[in-house]
Structure 1
Amino acid sequence: MRRVELKRNAARGRVLINLPLTILANIQLDCSSIMEIDARERLRQHFLNNRSPERWDELWKDGSFLPWDRGTPNPALIDTLDSKWSTIGPALKQDGSRRKALVPGCGKGYDVYLFAAYGFDAFGLEVGNAVEAAKKFAPEADTRDEYKARDENVGKGKVEFVQGDFYAKDWETSCHLDGNSGFDVIYDYTFLCAMPPNLRPAWSKRMTELLAPGGTLICLEFPLYKEASLGGPPWAMRAETYEMLLPFPGEEPEYDENGYVIKQERPPNPNGLTRIARWHAERSHPVGQGTDHVSLWKHREAA
């Protein structure tokens, strides 16, 4: 495969990486694209020798380098909530109470405020300093059109930000979950791809635990254009990554010599999720435009 070499410019502190031409076909290498590549390499270097959650907290505390922060909810999520309403379900239950939405790794909470605008009681889960950044965004969110109630008859849900470890359970009480009720909607965009591959089985197990029996997991699959050999975060994703994780919670997938998950035929795990829809996102953030896909997942008995 032919490659285009982008070299290090030490004087400018720029680190650029090798990209195959098949990827360059989907990326316009203007100044913004080059800056995007720089940012990904800088982020990878930040986690090179230490992948602990505290390293994310350090970035949030400093606040000067947040390359995943796009400033707005992803247009693909807006389109999903608009077009897949019958699948996801209404924000209000028959008794008038609100269904709950969870955004793990929510950042400043752009997507959390969006779910609230659609009427859900929305919860964002993050590490310490990110929670503070999300709370500080609240006054601005109140003034932005995309966060106005989408249906005046439904109104807006509440927004809460919770500090905690996704893989622990102590934060769940802060979300007012009743017993094993779980969340009615969970949204993953840049959360799974931020996890080192060894945490993927735990991610899939936790998602199945947190999703309510009739709930929907929305996965905005990203970055599908990236090569696994480039490392992360963000770590390269493929459709097979989700296909071999969510139906088989807690199970380690097999990888090929290039670092990609191998799709295999296995007996279904009764505790796993099943994919009910997948499509190419017509709109997304520029970094994933043209390659991002959206998939919807439910418990097997609810599919």
Structure 2
Amino acid sequence: MKTNATMIGQVREQFLTALDDTQVSTELLKQLVDAAQQSPGVMDAHEVNGITRAIDVDPVSWNPDYFSRQKFFATRNFSKERLEHLIQVRDVFRQRNEKGFTPTVAASHARKAPMNSASFDYQPTSNLKKFVDEGDLLTIRTALRLELNDRRLDGAELHGALAWAKDNVSGIFEVFSEGAFARELLSDQNQWTEDYYDLQVTYLKTNFSEKRFLHLIEVRELLRNSAVEGFVSTKAAAPKTASSTHSAAPAAQASRPNSRQPIPDSAPERNPAFKAALLIGGAIAAVVVFLVALVR
């Protein structure tokens, strides 16, 4: 399993790679720099020396070679100041329509429509497949958990992701257990709120069991069918009608029990910037997986 030092190194590498992705916005990069600061050890203190040269604040001097040099310096000094400068230089180049920096029309992320039959032909997302291919259990589990954040994916596709990961990764799921940091699953759908969902995501980190993952899919579907903000599908298709098994959906949206457990300071998964990065995929999505995996 990857160490924190290894994952920090990969956060840095993938972030610098993401600077070259024209689909990644300036604002998203800034938000991920802010998020990276919350993970101890990811950022360096800013330094200027014989290897990591000073930042040039004059835009007249900025050209692609200067950008490349600053990227190299960032491999030696991954500081907030240097990253924000790189983002600023990149943004100026985008405004100038500099070749290699100009945003292009985003590629389609369309997926096959889910089928009602058990023979649904599931294809893993590029992010999930990347981490399964790499073979590290912690980041595989993190990537699978983050599939729950992809609002393009419905319940059938998440069931497909679970089955595919189970078939391709030995020991991905633990035996279901309950404890101080992995509480019980509630069957009362009136208590399936956003807060309850966030708690169960936190418990999944402690007890990464198939039963917990399946329960999260079910809670997510209820919130999705109830049109709860943050869960509604981003697909262009017409909204689904809640099934009879979700007859308590309106109650789940309205009911707010007074005696709920406090939500731990956890849920980086719900960070809007992380969700946006996951939809883009590639290096910027890998940054998110590593950042989330660092929060244990």
Whether TM-score is above 0.5 comes out as no
Larger Rg: 2
Into which bin does the TM-score normalised by the smaller protein fall? under 0.3
Select the structure that is richer in strand. Answer: 1
State TM-score, norm by structure 2.
0.27
Q: Which structure has more RCO (C-alpha within 8 Å, separation ≥ 6)?
A: 2
Higher helix share: 2
